[in-house]
Chain A
């Protein structure tokens, strides 16, 4: 158990509303990630962070922003949700070394109507 929690676990929202997903870890890991999982696509990287206030874009970053003001929290924001952002969102942390495996949170199922 890598001590990763995600909130909320489920959310239904309407198109055009802002949404923030939270990832919280308890083990002081430096590297954190947000992925989305869609049928037929596997998991795709949205954004990642390599330290407090240090973030970078992943493969599918359009329409998403992130913030990391504390080591333990990594927030994913959809400024104006669209139906194409209906997905399951996973947060992950990486072990101490950059080549280590990633451990995933339980996921957040987001539905945008």
Chain B
């Protein structure tokens, strides 16, 4: 069975602080994919990143960075110099590649509040 745990239900920081959102996953598969999605107050789900299980390189995109560590089954997301517009619910998700087209397993989300 697959499982994604986002232990931080809510995080509140002051603008310009750095913040890390934790994601821990469980899967028995050797091939899988990890994702982060953002859900701003308007409600839509925005894709941020995909990472496959064979690629443990960290990734940086502007103020966003992702740290994938297979040894600890974690795929953490850091926002540097946070801004009010980063306020949203962030979801980590897992997809095992069994050759089929099954859906994603989502964590429960972390509500990030950036205070001005």
Contacts and interface: CB of A to CB of B under 8 A. Distances in A.
Interface of A: 30-31, 33, 35, 40-45, 48, 50, 56, 58, 88, 90, 92, 94, 98-104, 106-107
B41 interface: no
Nearest to B103: A45
At the interface, is chain B mostly helix, strand, loop or mixed? loop
At the interface, is chain A mostly helix, strand, loop or mixed? strand
A61 B52 CA distance: 28
Interface in B40-85: 43-45, 47, 50, 52
A88 to B, nearest CB: 7
B103 A33 contact: yes
A100 B50 CA distance: 8
Number of chain B interface residues as a range? 20 to 34
Contacts of A107: 43-45
A60 B54 CA distance: 30
Given A88-B43, A98-B100, A106-B43, A42 B107 contact: yes
Nearest to A2: B47
Contacts of A106: 43-44
